[in-house]
Structure 1
Amino acid sequence: MSSATDPWGRVDEEGTVYVRTADGERVVGSWQAGAPEEALAYYKRKYDSLVTEIGLLEQRVRTTDLQPAQAEQSIGRLREAVTDAKAVGDLDALARRLDGLTERVGRRREEVKARREQHRHEAREIKERIVAEAERIAAEETHWKNGGERLRQLVEEWKAADRIDRPTETALWKRLSSARNAFTKRRKAYFATLDEQREDARREKERLVADAEAMTGSSDWGETAAAYRELMRRWKLAGRAGRDTEEELWARFKGAQDTFFQARSAAFAERDAEFRGNAEEKEKILAEAERLLPVRDVRQARQALRAIQERWEAAGMVPRDQRDRLEGRLRKIEETIRGAEENEWRRTNPEARARAEATVAQLRSSIDQLQARLDKARGAGRDRDAKDAEEALTARRAWLEEAERTLAEFS
């Protein structure tokens, strides 16, 4: 058999196939069935298969999220295949490519490790936040429905979060479980206390209902109405009984009140019917009283008003819906006549008249003196003194006009 050569291998005359590497030649096979060139071509195809496999692995590492452990396993398998390859080609180049892949996968491993640590850190923060909120709810929340629902949501958030290291995970889960148990115990204690309060409220309101029902037939309208107001005040302070009991007791309590106040309204309506005649009489009295205004003779108006007031009292009570209006009209007449009396007294008061006369006289004397000062200052050419005297004189004249008007009121 003839021999054949290639940059990366050869076939000797015995048909032995060699591959050249950095460490020298090594036998990769024997070829006896054909030409040496066919042997080299055959073993080159085996080399090309290795190239394809390595290329595919490089692509997967470069373009997918292939896990480092899986990639390293594939690299190890291919490295063994290259080392023991029965192929002709640049096997050293393939080994270098596998070395490059190993470095790339190593970096990928560090990146994955860093991301995993970051995820664990974030997961820990999430779970610590979940536990902190659960503990706050357990200690502070009094809206029991919302609190219970939020705790259920926190458990779901916990399950959705990534796992962290086992000791920390276990410790935080124990705190979360303790918070849920504490909230449940506090809620049960609250409702147990609430049941006691509702029972106390039921007993108190049953007493109030009994008192209210006992007064429904009373005709002491004022005192009984005040008693019902007191019962209502105590009802509001008693708190709430259970829902069904509360509604039943309230229906009885309100029914008792309605019975009494309806009877009172009926009695007042009957009485008001009797009082309508009195109101008509008082309308006539008011018409007569209003003719006293405006007041011309104070003494005569006062005497007439006394007679009107006596007839007013004698006329009796009027319906409640007319009382304020009628009383207001009479009060306005009384106030007008009283004001006229006060004005008359001030006008005829001798002491006040004497004070007004003295004030007028004093101001006139002061004006005469200031006028003399003004004339003297002008004659002497003392402009500043003349100006001061003139200003004072103007003020005194204004005061005098006001004082003379006051004095005129006594005329």
Structure 2
Amino acid sequence: MTSDPWGRVDDEGTVYVRTADGERVVGSWQAGSPEEALAYFTRKYEGIAVEIGLLERRVRTTDLAAKDAQTAIEHLQAQVDEGHAVGDLDALAQRLKALTSEVESRREEKKAARAKVQEEARAAKEALVTEAEQLVESTQWREAGDRLRALVDTWKGLPRLDRKSDDELWHRFSHARSAFSKRRKSHFAQLDQQREEARLKKEKLVVEAESLADSTDWADTAARYRELMAEWKAAGRAQREAEDELWTRFRGAQDVFFQARSAVFDERDADERENQHAKEALLVEAEALLPISDLKVAKNHYRDIAERWEAIGHVPRDARPRLESRLRHVEQAIREAEEAEWQRSNPEARARAAGMTGLLQAAVEKLEKQIAAAEAKGDSRQVAKLQSELDGRRELLAQAQKGLEEFSG
């Protein structure tokens, strides 16, 4: 009988392998020596060990699927359990057991990784759906549309979820995009309608503007053009090409009118500046009457100046207040001279002035006597009181006397 640490060959040529559970027959050898028999079955063991080593390497260094790895392990386990080989089969079984645990661990890791990817994908898709639903009411049509297209691209790059969840989220996402597209389409359809209405309104404004271009009713037509401009702005914008073409016509009609008006006004301004120079010369003549020494002569001269003033005509608007103020100053001086002359020739006013002067003179004399009496009594308080009254009466008397003198001038 021939043996080694892991097997033996009995005298009949039966080959055994030793395991922790005892010996078991792995084959029979009749063609040669027992040593050759053990060597043959040892090589079969080494072949199984090599296959296990290769599987270990594939599991640890490649993305071999857990299912495929487990199938390979089970195949090798059957060779270890039932195979005809001599060697440390228990060690191979332990390696397969350890590899099974490793594959299972990697399976759980991949499962957890897939679950994490799914949760991240779910969270990402829910965020996309939420943002899309928020964009539904946006009126930033271009920006929101671009953003929704970007969200679609992002969605396509995310992993799929379970069918139910993925379908539910996609339905919400797609509904939000459709709702926004519907609102945008409605908005631009309404905008097109508004632009068409604006075009029709502006065409009418252009026709009227062109009909007024040759008007010489400067004030009313200019006012109407201002109204047309306000109506133009209120009408809104038409389509770009129509807007540009209509504006060119509208502005052209205004330019024709206002250029013609400017030419007329420039000629009028030149005439008015000449009138200004003429009136300034008259003002020099009128102001030479001041101060008035002979009222009759001044009135006659001023009347002649006023007639010539009216005959000259309009002056520039900005010069008018200043010129008229200077002329009114001369006119006011003549009126004041007339008033003074009338006051001097009014007998009723003279009589009133004389009467007032007499009354004030009598009051002054009375107070002087009262003061003298108070001084004789030594009543200083009464003297001070009466003196104050006397000063007031004397001031009034002086004014009355001055007025009375003017009637004698």
TM-score (norm 2): 0.69
From 167, 170, 179, the equivalent of 1:170 is 167
Matched residue of 1:34: which SS? coil
From 238, 247, 262, the equivalent of 2:235 is 238
From 187, 198, 206, the equivalent of 1:190 is 187
Cα distance in 2 for partners of 1:61, 1:170 equals 36
AA at the equivalent of 2:115: E
1:363 matched residue in structure 2: none
* TM alignment of 1:261-340, pairs within 5 A: 261-278=258-275, 317=314, 324=318
The one-character-per-residue Cα deviations of 1:155-212 (angstroms, maximum 9, x if unpaired) are 2221211111111111111112222222222222222222221222122212211221
How far off is 1:318 after superposition? 5.1
The verdict on how the C-alpha distance between 1:280 and 1:116 changes in structure 2, with shifts beyond 3 A counting, is: same
From 17, 32, 35, the equivalent of 2:33 is 35
Cα distance in 2 for partners of 1:332, 1:76 equals 123
1:179 matched residue in structure 2: 176
From 83, 96, 99, the equivalent of 1:98 is 96
AA at the equivalent of 1:204: K
AA at the equivalent of 2:118: R
2:59 matched residue in structure 1: 61
User: After TM superposition, where is structure 1 displaced by more than 4 Å over at least 4 residues in a row?
Assistant: 279-286, 309-319, 326-334
How far off is 1:332 after superposition? 11
Cα distance in 1 for partners of 2:281, 2:25 equals 146
1:73 matched residue in structure 2: 71
How far off is 1:282 after superposition? 6.8
Cα distance in 2 for partners of 1:115, 1:282 equals 103
How far off is 1:33 after superposition? 3.1
From 225, 234, 239, the equivalent of 1:228 is 225
2:155 matched residue in structure 1: 158
The one-character-per-residue Cα deviations of 1:208-241 (angstroms, maximum 9, x if unpaired) are 1122122112222222212111111111111112
C-alpha RMSD of the superposition = 3.3
From 2, 10, 15, the equivalent of 2:8 is 10
From 193, 211, 215, the equivalent of 1:214 is 211
> Gapped runs of 5+ residues in structure 1?
293-297, 335-411
AA at the equivalent of 1:171: E
AA at the equivalent of 1:142: T
How far off is 1:53 after superposition? 1.9
TM-score (norm 1): 0.68
> Gapped runs of 5+ residues in structure 2?
328-409
How far off is 1:248 after superposition? 2.1
From 77, 83, 86, the equivalent of 2:84 is 86
How far off is 1:100 after superposition? 1.0
How far off is 1:312 after superposition? 8.2
AA at the equivalent of 1:213: E
The verdict on how the C-alpha distance between 1:284 and 1:21 changes in structure 2, with shifts beyond 3 A counting, is: farther
Identity of aligned residues (%): 58
The one-character-per-residue Cα deviations of 1:284-328 (angstroms, maximum 9, x if unpaired) are 789x79x99xxxxx968xx99xx8x97988765556xxx65x679
Cα distance in 2 for partners of 1:174, 1:208 equals 50
2:46 matched residue in structure 1: 48
How far off is 1:51 after superposition? 1.7
Q: How many residues are matched?
A: 318
